[in-house]
Structure 1
Amino acid sequence: MPDPSPAPGRDVPELPGTVAAPLDHELVIKRSRFIAHLSPAGSVEEAESVVARVRKELWDARHHCVALVVGTHADAQRSSDDGEPSGTAGIPMLEVLRHRRVTDVVAVVSRYFGGVLLGAGGLVRAYSGAVSGVLDEAATRGLLRRRAALHEVTVAVPHADAGRIDHHLRSWAATHDAVLEATAYGADARLTLLVPPGEIGSLGADLAEASAGALTPVVGATRVVDLPVPPV
Structure 2
Amino acid sequence: MDYKTIIGETEYKFEEKKSIFIGYIKHIESEYEAKKFIDDIKTKHHEARHNVYAYVIGNDMLIQRYTDDGEPRGTAGIPIIELIKKRGLTDIIVVVTRYFGGILLGVGGLTRAYVNGASGVIDKAKIVDRVLGKEISIIVPYEIIGKLQYFFDVNKIHVDNVLYEEKVIFKVRIEKIIVNKLLSDITDLTSNNFDVEISDDVMYFKNEGRYFLNNEIQ
**TM-score normalised by the shorter chain: which range applies?**
0.7 to 0.9
Letter in 2 for 1:153: I
Q: Which AA in structure 2 matches 1:107?
A: V
Other-structure match for 2:213: none
RMSD: 2.6
Shifted more, 89-98 versus 178-187: the winner is 178-187
Report whether the alignment pairs 1:146 with 2:129. yes
Amino acid in structure 1 at the alignment position of 2:203: V
Please state which structure has a larger fraction of its residues in strand: 2
Alignment of 1:1-232 (within 5 A): 5=1, 15-138=2-125, 143-158=126-141, 160-161=142-143, 163-164=145-146, 167-168=149-150, 170-172=152-154, 174=156, 180-183=159-162, 188-215=167-194, 217=196, 221-228=200-207
Q: What CA distance in whole angstroms lies between the structure 1 residues aligned with 2:144 and 2:93?
A: 43
Identity of aligned residues (%): 28
Q: Deviations over 1:160-198 (max 9, x none)?
A: 258536623542552xxx554334666644433333455
Give distance in 2, aligned partners of 1:26 and 1:166.
49
Structure 1's 173 and 219: CA in aligned 2 closer, same or farther, altered over 3 A? farther
Code of the residue aligned with 2:191 in structure 1: it is A
**Structure 2 stretches lacking a partner, 5+ long:** 210-218
Gaps of 5+ in 1: 6-14
Deviations 1:13-32 (A, max 9, x none): xx331111111101221111
Runs (4+) of structure 1 exceeding 6 A deviation are none
Question: Alignment length, in residue pairs?
Answer: 209
* 2-structure distance, mates of 1:207, 1:86: 59
Question: Amino acid of the residue matched to residue 48 of structure 1?
Answer: K
Q: Does the CA contact (< 8 Å) of 1:173 and 1:180 recur in 2?
A: no
